[in-house]
Chains A and B, each alone.
Chain A
Amino acid sequence: MNTNMDIQIEAMPVPVKTKEQLRASLDGKAIDPDQFNSIIEAVVTEYERTRIEACEAVGIVAAQSIGEPGTQMTMRTFHYAGVAEINVTLGLPRLIEIMDARKEPSTPTMTIYLKPEYRGNRDRAREVSWQIEAAPLHEFADITTDMENMQVVIQLIIAQCEKRKISPATIMENAPKKIRERRHYRDFDHASDEGKAQILFFPKDKESYQNLFQLADHVRNVIVQGINDIVRVVVRKEGEEYVLYTEGSNLKDVFEVEGVDVTRTRSNNISEAADILGIEAARNAIIHEALSTLNEQGIHVDVRHLMLVADMMCMDGEVKQIGRHGIAGEKESVLSRAAFEVTVNHLLDAAIANEVDELNGVTENIIVGQPIQLGTGDVKLIAKPRLQV
């Protein structure tokens, strides 16, 4: 292949992907100009032949293409995807979850990519993970409940603090504050001793053992480092770089963490993606999640079908469910809605609002017994043969 050919490839009226494929397959091969020309010609002809035709019922084809392999998918809810330590919902239940546009998936997880300075080294990656994984106070300290003096004694373990890159002072400052703010428990006082790395907590009611134990419980479990919703972080090597997998998802807070590559990090919580990153991100998340769910099961479905579903779900600027409370329930046509679910209520409501069914869609026209406006039914051109003389 020579530069002249490269220029010719560049000038072809085909997508970039096809040009790249062409270059890859011609790379390093001896081709004479005749062969090259016939290849170029064949590629262009084939590209023109694969254009979609007008009036094609792409929606139905997409729905069938995703729905049909559903019967082949497993029901088994939990399975380990990639990382043995983290459970992820897979198979049909996950697909249903995506199409339902649930606010919270049953197993929220994130894949966190790191900035170049952190991604190459396991220890550097661990450092970031400490900032993300929610760690309760008892992981950093020995906690004893002193019933005699009615207090909870926290003796910080300096080694542990150093290992997880957090200064004892920060813990001392954060612990009482977080108990008040995050756990909404205020009936206590505290005193900290920096020198001894010790914190003392006293319940307000000195007479009540119940309060003391309650306080001890709050103290033990208060999250002093990391992000609340993220229960666990696993560091894994993916090709050349280290990647963090989490159990639990919180895009907003993770983006604030130093070292996180904000451009590649993703969550499997679609509505969270929509809130934090916007509707286009949600659309891409739907496509990515649905495609990986299907591929994990060994089912090959063209992306274009999933794109169509995602575009339909995100059409109005918010993620809408496929079903009664989303797209199907908000259709304009009364008959179409009545034929889907909750038949009678739709008819009664239509009557008082004086709704008019324009009979544009498929179901409506099937119901009244007319040709539908898709495919061959959509062609309105009538050829009148010239009269024979």
Chain B
Amino acid sequence: MPSPKRIGKIEFGLFSPKEIRKMSVRKIIWADTYDEDGFPYPQGLMDLNLGVIDPGLRCKTCDQKAADCPGHFGHIELAKPVIHVGYTRLIRKLLRVTCRACSRLLLPPTEIEKVLSTEEESGQDVLTEKDIKKEQICPHCGEQQYKINFEKPTTFSEVWMEGNRKMEHKLTPADIRARLERVPDEDLRALGINPVVARPEWTILTVLPVPPVTMRPSIILENGQRSEDDLTHKLVDIIRINQRFKENQDAGAPQLIIEDLWELLQYHVTTYLDNEVAGCPPARHRSGRPLKTLSQRLKGKEGRFRGSLSGKRVNFSARTVISPDPNISVREVGIPLACANEMTVPVRVTPFNMAEVRQFILNGPDRKDVNGPCGANYVIRPDNRRLRLSDTNLQTVVDMIEPSWTVERQLRDGDVVLFNRQPSLHRMSIMAHKTKVMQGKTFRLNPAVCPPYNADFDGDEMNLHVPQTEEAMAEAHILLAVHENILSPRFGGPIIGGIHDHVSGIFMLTHEMRWFAKRDVLYLLGSLDIVHLPEPGKVENGVPFWSNKQVFSLILPDDLNMVFRASSCQNCPQCKEEVCDRDAYVKIIDGQLVSGTIDKKAIGAFDGQILHRIIRQYGMERSADFIDAMTKLAIRSIMLDGFSFGIDDEDLSKTEYGQIKEVLDSAAHDVRTRIKIFEEGALEPMPGRTEEETLEMQIMQVMGKARDRTGEIAGRHLGLENSAVVMAVSGARGSMLNLTQMAGCIGQQSVRGERIMRGYDERTLPHFKRRDRGAEAHGFIKNSYKSGLSPTEFFFHAIGGREGLVDTAVRTSQSGYLQRRMINALQDLKVAYDGTVRTTGGRIIQFLYGEDGTDPAKSSYGNPVDVKGIVESVLKEEAQ
């Protein structure tokens, strides 16, 4: 299957009229496409020599069917030459730098030679219009030069002064062509043109190549009518005008008519090449839609280059909605049976696997049960013909099968597939999972792999690809597997880890000291592969109890040693270590959690310290196992206690409401006094600010502080028995700010970092007095989400919220473009075998990658060696 041939290089050049005629298989003279019987006209635009698109017909040139015939070019002989729009700037340049009589470069011969000789060395310097002096007299033949005027899109004229009168003479394409023909080859080289492949006169078209029909297929609508491609429409126009032009020319029509027709022909050829030329009305379809001609086909995101060549469509892929399943491994992906039955893996038949392959075929294409044996959908014969398997032909195929055939087997548990979610912003957006065939119609994944994909389950869809060769499967297995991608190359930390409920769950399990009876311990550990319970931590009245820390320690590697501080650590000036009030001093000795609470800092995605340490000391596979065990334990422990949040969790007591009101009232008072000071002109402005700006900054500060105070008041009332507090403290989701806004006070709404100022004349809303600078009039929200917003507050909140939405929309497009540019600039860089960074062309960018040759993906948050981890694991005490 793989071709050993490589394309070595691609050379670009212009077609000469001679080459166009030579490659043409048919001269096209008729503007019509099909006759009444629906058969192509000979020498028409759909001539059978140009290739075939209708099934059943055979190409007259290569005698192949529609599927195999690549198509062949034809040509149109233009009555008079016309200009190629893409080269108008080149033509203008050439006309301006060459003599109108002898067509030599307007430079003395010595200087031409100088340019030519320097060019050999640098290979870069080319003459431009500016290098030619405003030479009026040709140094070669002494001819007086005229100024060349260019008018978009394709008109050239000569301008000169005769006495006091300005004279203008239009140059026809034929005149220009005649001038360009005379330019000698050496002069062209000095201009950076290679005359062997690109004589300048070839930019003036005398023959037009007609692309094969395969490039412009007509489509048949439901009503049986043919609808032609835009290119065909344009070619019809060209041929029609061309024929009329020829007739008029032969009949000796007056010059005026000839000129009109010439211009019309030029217009049609111009729009055929590019329908978006400045100064030229675009050619339109009958419906008024501008035609999509050659240039439009190549351009832009959906154009040939970016849409069809850089991005290709593939087979053996599937897409559906995703949903979470905490019971499968992070290394697995759940695939709906319907998908698994449709997607296949090719298996080459050999003498050694005949029996297995026969069984695949006998199982047939219709697997009914998730646990059923997998079948096969197709077999491929040695001559590459596919046979679809159906219930009726299974036995005949089984008898035919022999080595050298290939059987396309359905997916079964344990196959390697690639899983992807757009936008694919980094390499972890595509990872290899092991399949697990499941009931239902969605792809299932462990929530712990959401961060690298940036996935959630609010209706996200993901794609799945099945590698079709052994090389691809091996590469997927070794390089793309989920456990190989736990460490992000962006910062050298884990990107897969506990999220949301995992963090809350493990926090509730490990916080402070708890004792579990055997029943609960078994419930917690039920889904893990733990065979023996450790010695109970304490025995009361003959009943054994295990501590929460003991339970968690069971999933840790036996000889893990580390010390760090949890995310609830307050950075006290003097650390109390093991006896921390918040139980934030995490100490693990010989795989036993001695003290501390496990939370986001320990097992979370992005900053899970334990994860990081396990990867460094026990490898990727072990850490994937740890994540699996940890997520299962966390889910069980959150289910043990239950976890929910409701409206009454935001309730505060009367005293707190009183305090909050007091704080807000005093803040409002403070603002009023400041405004008064300002209005009296007594405000001391901050350096470099006006008084008004200073006032605004002060008010923002006061209101911000007031909001934070209400938060503190609310926080005093709400403790760890509140679910939102658990989530905020453990780092699972949300922050104390969110809680403040729910229970205390929402605070100042802002637009572009300032209070809300826009609206009506000198006021934001008609509810306020003009020139009111007070807090409420400019978007301060006293209420909480619990207490509910007043109408004006609601409106201000909507203003602030809208800014956020606009921000997100603008940001995605901007950062997407930045990323595209960066990828394009850096994509060719690689580390060479000598450790240097080079482009694929061989230019050296760095002599040693990153100045120390460390792979960021293998580094420890950027450090080549995780010294702290090594020292801690050997000494079993905290290291710097």
Chain A positions near chain B (C-beta within 8 angstroms): 14-15, 17-18, 21-22, 24-27, 29, 31, 35, 38-39, 42-43, 46-47, 49-71, 73-76, 78-79, 84-86, 92, 95-96, 99, 232, 234, 247, 300-305, 307-309, 311-312, 315, 322-324, 326-328, 331-332, 334-336, 338-340, 343-345, 347-348, 350-363, 366-368, 370, 373-376, 378
Contact = CB atoms under 8 A, between A and B. Distances in A.
B830 A52 contact: no
Contact of B829 (A43, A58, A302, A351): A58
Nearest to A27: B880
B154 to A, nearest CB: 15
B305 A367 contact: yes
Given A61-B427, A68-B425, A303 B862 contact: yes
B830 A55 contact: yes
B27 interface: no
Contact of B841 (A62, A315, A354, A358): A358
A32 to B, nearest CB: 10
Contacts of A324: 821
B841 A302 contact: no
A356 B10 contact: yes
Contacts, number: 343
B117 interface: no
B875 A29 contact: yes
Which one of B821, B850, B866 has the highest number of Cβ atoms from chain A below 10 Å of its Cβ?
B821
Interface string B76-109: 0000000000110010000000000000000000
Nearest to A30: B875
B194 A354 contact: yes
Given A39-B871, A352-B90, A309 B840 contact: no
B827 interface: yes
Given A92-B811, A362-B828, A354 B13 contact: yes
B856 A39 contact: no
Given A59-B827, A92-B811, A312 B489 contact: no
Interface of B: 6-14, 86-87, 90, 192-194, 196-198, 200, 203, 274, 295, 298-300, 303, 305-306, 309-310, 425-427, 475, 479, 489-493, 616, 686-689, 697, 752-753, 807, 810-812, 814-815, 818-819, 821-833, 835, 837, 839-841, 843, 845-846, 849-859, 861-868, 870-871, 874-875, 877, 879-880
A315 B819 contact: no
A46 B874 CA distance: 14
A21 B310 contact: no
Given A71-B812, A356-B12, A366 B310 contact: yes
B853 to A, nearest CB: 6
Which applies to chain A's interface (DSSP): helix, strand, loop or mixed? helix
11 contacts: A26-B879, A53-B831, A59-B830, A61-B427, A63-B826, A96-B814, A328-B821, A331-B828, A339-B310, A343-B299, A362-B840
Nearest to B811: A75
Contact of B828 (A49, A54, A59, A351): A59
Contacts of B866: 46
Nearest to A20: B867
A323 B309 contact: no
B243 to A, nearest CB: 29
Given A50-B865, A302-B856, A347 B870 contact: no
Nearest to B10: A357
A351 B12 contact: yes
Given A43-B865, A68-B819, A308-B850, A56 B10 contact: no
A322 B825 contact: yes
A346 to B, nearest CB: 10
Given A54-B833, A354-B198, A360-B841, A63 B867 contact: no
Nearest to B843: A315
Contact of B856 (A75, A305, A340, A355): A305
Contact of B824 (A42, A51, A340, A357): A340
Contact of B846 (A69, A79, A307, A331): A307
Contact of B13 (A322, A351, A370): A351
B865 A18 contact: yes
A85 B689 contact: yes
Contacts of A49: 858
A326 B825 contact: yes
A304 B822 contact: no
Given A351-B13, A356-B10, A78 B831 contact: no
A71 B454 CA distance: 11
Contacts of B86: 344-345, 348
Given A327-B825, A344-B298, A304 B856 contact: yes
Closest 6 CB pairs of A and B: A59-B829, A67-B819, A70-B815, A304-B850, A59-B826, A354-B194
A271 to B, nearest CB: 18
A24 B865 contact: no
Contacts of A56: 830-831, 855
A332 B9 CA distance: 12
Which one of A64, A303, A308 has the highest number of Cβ atoms from chain B below 10 Å of its Cβ?
A64
B310 A363 contact: yes
A99 B822 contact: yes
A193 B76 CA distance: 89
A92 B815 contact: yes
A126 to B, nearest CB: 12
Given A14-B865, A352-B87, A370-B6, A71 B425 contact: yes
B686 A65 contact: no
Given A35-B875, A64-B426, A308 B855 contact: no
A65 B825 contact: no
Contact of A357 (B9, B194, B198, B686): B9
A54 to B, nearest CB: 5
A4 to B, nearest CB: 18
B650 to A, nearest CB: 28
B11 A52 contact: no
Given A63-B826, A71-B812, A312-B826, A307 B7 contact: no
A64 B856 CA distance: 13
Given A22-B867, A344-B274, A354-B12, A66 B822 contact: yes
